[in-house]
């Protein structure tokens, strides 16, 4: 945006009057024009949208806060650099909100790595849906854990084995396949090295007036 040729810096008002003695009526003097450059850099000009150095420094803290609100926290373009501080690589197919959540919880997830809670937390951030892990080592309880092959095993489950169930909100075959591959990679990365697992990605079942549009929110077969 071009600057008005008659505009002078407001910094001139803070100097003694002697510095304005050479100013002609309705015309800027040299010093008033010269100080415009410093005012633009340090304070920012009121008729421009670019903030000055003072405002940038005052809001520097927000660059270190991923948060959920871009206007109050780190800008979107700054997220990869912020993730680099935490040794994270952000997936390009992740939305901005999901990237911010992962960065915000990264340090906690590192402490939980190799635990059941850590796997659930990481998958929940990725899927933004409910995640369940069954280790099949809970006692047999009628009405609580009593379905053989689903939530309980007689004589206990297989050692070092667990089952992961991810519930999706939409029944789209391409989305299901994508979620399954990424979820599998996440579990492989987060689980204890000596354990193994099965993964089940569940889509909404056919329900009239709830999930009943084939190809959009439900799948037949």
Instruction: Indicate whether 97 belongs to any domain.
Output: no
Least Cα distance to 180 among 168, 163, 193, 194 occurs for 168
**pLDDT at residue 149 above 60?**
no
pLDDT of 33-75, one tens digit each? 888 888 888 888 766 677 778 887 888 888 888 887 767 788 8
- Is 154's pLDDT higher than 80? no
pLDDT of residue 216: 55
One domain for residues 51 and 117: no
Query: Distance between the two ends of the chain, CA-based, in angstroms?
Result: 61
Where do we find the tokens 């990869």?
A: 80
Residue 156 maps to a domain: yes
User: Residues near 82 by Cβ (< 8 Å), separated by ≥ 6?
Assistant: 63, 64, 66, 74, 103
Tokens encoding 141: 């309880």
Give the model's pLDDT for residue 40. 82
Comparing CA positions, the residue from 180, 198, 190 lying closest to residue 117 is 190
Evaluate if residue 97 carries a pLDDT over 80.
yes
Strand pairing category for 161-167 and 131-134: antiparallel
Same-domain check for residues 122 and 197? yes
CA distance to 49, 123, 173, 211, 214, per residue, from 221 (Å):
56, 26, 11, 14, 11
Please report whether residue 24 resides in a domain: yes
- What is the residue range of 133's domain? 113-202
Number of domains in the chain: 2
In whole angstroms, how far apart are CA 182 and each of 41, 48, 64, 179?
Answer: 46, 45, 28, 5
Rounded to two decimals, the pTM is: 0.57
**Averaged pLDDT score across all residues of the chain:** 78
For 155-191, write each residue's pLDDT tens digit: 556 778 888 999 887 777 777 888 888 889 889 988 9
CA dist., res. 193 & res. 160, Å (int):
10
Residue 151 domain-assigned?
A: yes
Q: Residue 134 forms beta bridges with which residues?
A: 163
Nearest alpha-carbon partner for 166 in 122, 108, 136, 207: 122
210, pLDDT greater than 70: no
Does 141 reside within a domain? yes
The answer to whether residue 87 sits within a structural domain is no
Backbone angles phi, psi at 141, to 5 degrees: -135, 120
Q: Are 166 and 182 in contact (CB under 8 A)?
A: no
């Amino acid at each position: 945006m071009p600057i008005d040729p008659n505009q002078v810096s407001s910094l001139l008002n803070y100097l003694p009057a002697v510095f304005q003695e050479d100013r002609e009526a309705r015309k800027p003097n040299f010093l008033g024009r010269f100080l415009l450059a410093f005012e633009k850099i340090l304070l920012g000009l009121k008729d421009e949208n670019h903030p000055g150095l003072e405002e940038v420094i005052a809001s520097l803290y927000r660059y270190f806060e991923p948060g959920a609100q871009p206007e109050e926290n780190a800008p979107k373009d700054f997220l990869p650099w912020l993730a680099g501080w935490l040794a994270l690589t952000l997936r390009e197919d992740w939305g901005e909100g999901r990237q911010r959540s992962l960065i915000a919880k990264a340090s906690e997830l590192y402490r939980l790595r190799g635990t059941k809670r850590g796997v659930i937390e990481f998958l929940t951030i990725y899927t933004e849906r409910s995640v369940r892990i069954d280790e099949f080592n809970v006692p047999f309880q009628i009405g609580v854990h009593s379905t053989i092959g689903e939530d309980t095993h007689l004589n206990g489950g297989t050692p070092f084995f667990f089952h992961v169930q991810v519930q999706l909100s939409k029944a789209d075959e391409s989305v299901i396949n994508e979620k399954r591959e990424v979820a599998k990679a996440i579990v492989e990365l987060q689980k204890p090295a000596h354990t193994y697992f099965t993964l089940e990605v569940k889509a909404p079942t056919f329900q009239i007036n709830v999930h009943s549009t084939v190809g959009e929110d439900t799948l037949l077969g």
